[in-house]
DNA sequence: GAGTAATACTGCAATATTAATATATTCGCG
DNA sequence: CGCGAATATATTAATATTGCAGTATTACTC
């Protein structure tokens, strides 16, 4: 019996789901998560982010590149500095979730 | 000049953040995401999930084990079958986010 | 143009994840 | 007990991510 059973009361469509996994993967990493957290309050330079995230410049820059490739962040240059900001709206929502749900102790 | 600048208007505490990254990582994977999506509507057996996710039994079981290890899902045995369910509240919230924010076209 | 600060990129070793296949285990039943 | 269905685990090969060090690039200032 070869039933197909595309259940779907669920409903996240496969493409959206794949894209979502991509975006979410960006958040599943402490450093990236911290960077995004810092960006939540507005655009920041790489150096500023470096301070917020307590990581080397290279590390921060690299994770920013990863996220840029996935369309999660965006940048604009202002002279010698480059300002980054969050472009993917999901990110803000998910960060909000993390805070609201929270898990106080553990 | 060695400024420390632990900025923190942000506020997700490091431990929570690390734990959050763990949980989120579970969602950053198409198969796991699909499994969780299926579990959203209530507990299901491995075989049922297999149908929903269109993957082999071993694959599903393995990802379930991963998520169980991270405290994202939980199971209960009923005779020969094992029912899984979501235990981490964040998951529901994040799935909701994915749906609500959404990214219609791209 | 030289010097310097800010940012990006490249290559590589270490590690982690994934996927696939095969093999166990557990349970219910006759 | 012995069998079949449901689920779990082990193994292993392929691939992806990380972290790091070094180097390049770009843009200011003088």
Q: Is the CB of B64 under 7 A from strand D?
A: yes
Q: How far is the CA of A80 from the C1' of D29 (A)?
A: 12
Q: Which two tokens stand for residue A64?
A: 């920013």
Task: Provide the pLDDT for residue B11.
Answer: 58
A64, closest nucleotide (Cα–C1'): C8
Residues in chain A closer than 8 A to B41 (CB atoms): 9-10
What are A33-84's pLDDT values in tens digits? 999 999 999 999 999 999 988 899 999 999 999 999 999 999 999 998 999 9
Helices (H), chain B: 14-27, 30-39, 46-53, 57-69, 89-101
pLDDT tens column, A2-23: 333 333 344 567 777 788 888 8
Q: Which residue has the tokens 């803000």?
A: A92
Closest CA to A66 of A9, A28, A11, A106: A28
The dihedral through the CA atoms of A55, A96, B5, A65 has a sign that is: positive
What is the reported pLDDT for A102? 58
pTM over 0.85: no
Please tell me the distance from the alpha carbon of residue B67 to that of residue B5, in angstroms, as a whole number.
36
Asked whether the beta carbons of residue B17 and residue A33 sit closer than 8 angstroms, the reply is yes
More confident residue, A26 or A100: A26
Mutate which of B12, B52, B86, B106 to disrupt the A interface (most A C-beta within 10 Å)? Answer: B12
**Tens digits of per-residue pLDDT, B15-34?**
777 888 888 999 999 999 99
What would the mean pLDDT of B89-104 be, rounded to a whole number? Answer: 76
Q: Give residues lining strand C (CB < 7 Å).
A: A 45-47, 57-58, 61-62, 64-65, 75, 80-82; B 25, 29-31, 56, 58-59, 62, 66, 77, 79-80
């Amino acid at each position: 019996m070869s039933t197909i059973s595309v259940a779907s009361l669920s409903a996240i469509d496969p493409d959206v789901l794949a894209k979502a996994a991509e975006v979410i993967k960006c958040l599943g990493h402490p450093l990236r998560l911290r960077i995004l957290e810092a960006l939540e309050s507005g655009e920041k330079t790489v150096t500023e982010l470096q301070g917020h995230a307590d990581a080397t410049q290279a590390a921060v820059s690299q994770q920013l590149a990863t996220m840029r490739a996935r369309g999660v962040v965006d940048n604009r240059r202002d002279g010698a500095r480059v300002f980054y900001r969050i472009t993917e709206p999901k990110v803000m929502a998910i960060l909000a979730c993390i805070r609201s749900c929270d898990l106080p102790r553990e």
